[in-house]
Each structure stands twice: as structure tokens, then as C-alpha cells.
């Protein structure tokens, strides 16, 4: 929807924030973990059931409006337990995180409680 991946002349181009609308069929999963994360992220469940994996912990978004927030340094992956739609907001908007691309930061095995900030639940939206 909005981020570094839009053409620079497009009003949706931004290096400060990115917003993505993700439609994931049941069984869809990230092909590799994001390591060396340099962004903060908010992910909100619109519909379905979606699981996020963090080192030593899984968070399942099961009800519309459930969300999770994590910060820099938090490695993660995801899996669609059911057909799911999620809204993801990340800041800043940086290239190099598409599965199959090497991370721009050196890989590390930093857990969510060592560096970065993981909101440790899913929360219900307002």
C-alpha cells in the first residue's frame, strides 16, 4: 500500500513508514526467518487465524483486531493457520526483507527480551 517499494514519484512512496495488506491462504508461510530486524512492526488481524513465531515463543492472532508489536532486533517468521488477512505497519520502511533476500543487518539470534520490544500477547483491538 505504502512504503519504500513504491516509485519515488508516487505519493505512497515513503522511507519513514510502510503499510501492507497481506492476504494469506491457509498454510502460507514465510520461507525463512527475518533475522537482524531493523524495523519496529505492528501486525493486526483483519480476518482468519495467523501465527507469528519469535525465538522461544509463538503468538496466535485469532480474533479480528488481535495485534502484536515488536521492535528492532526481534527475529520472526509467520504461518497462516487459516485463510487470513493482516495489516502490517513497519517503521522505518527499508528494503532487503523480502524472503529470499539476504538481510541488510548481520544475522543474529536475538530474542525478543534481549533487544527490541515484543508486546507479549495478542491484544484485542479497541
| DSSP 8-state assignment for residue 93 | -
pTM: 0.74
Angle 71-72-74 (CA atoms, 0-180°, nearest 5)?
Answer: 75
- Cα–Cα nearest to 104, from 93, 88, 118, 113: 93
Per-residue pLDDT of the chain (126 residues; tens, 9 = 90+): 888 888 999 998 999 999 999 999 999 999 999 888 888 999 999 999 999 999 999 999 999 999 999 998 899 999 999 999 999 999 988 876 654 544 433 333 333 322 233 444 444 443
| Whole-angstrom distance, CA of residue 114 vs CA of residue 87 | 26
- Helix (H) or strand (E) run with residue 70 in it: strand 67-70
Amino acid at each position: 500500500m505504502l512504503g519504500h517499494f513504491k516509485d519515488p514519484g508516487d505519493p505512497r512512496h515513503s522511507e519513514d513508514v510502510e503499510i501492507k495488506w497481506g492476504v494469506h491462504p491457509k498454510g502460507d508461510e514465510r520461507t525463512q526467518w527475518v533475522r537482524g530486524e531493523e524495523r519496529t512492526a505492528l501486525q493486526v488481524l483483519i480476518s482468519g487465524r495467523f501465527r507469528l513465531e519469535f525465538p522461544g515463543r509463538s503468538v496466535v492472532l485469532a480474533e479480528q483486531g488481535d495485534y502484536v508489536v515488536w521492535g528492532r532486533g526481534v527475529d520472526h517468521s509467520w504461518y497462516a493457520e487459516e485463510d487470513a488477512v493482516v495489516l502490517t505497519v513497519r517503521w522505518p520502511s527499508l528494503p532487503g526483507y523480502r524472503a529470499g533476500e539476504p538481510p541488510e543487518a548481520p544475522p543474529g539470534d536475538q530474542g525478543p527480551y534481549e533487544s527490541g520490544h515484543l508486546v507479549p500477547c495478542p491484544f484485542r483491538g479497541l
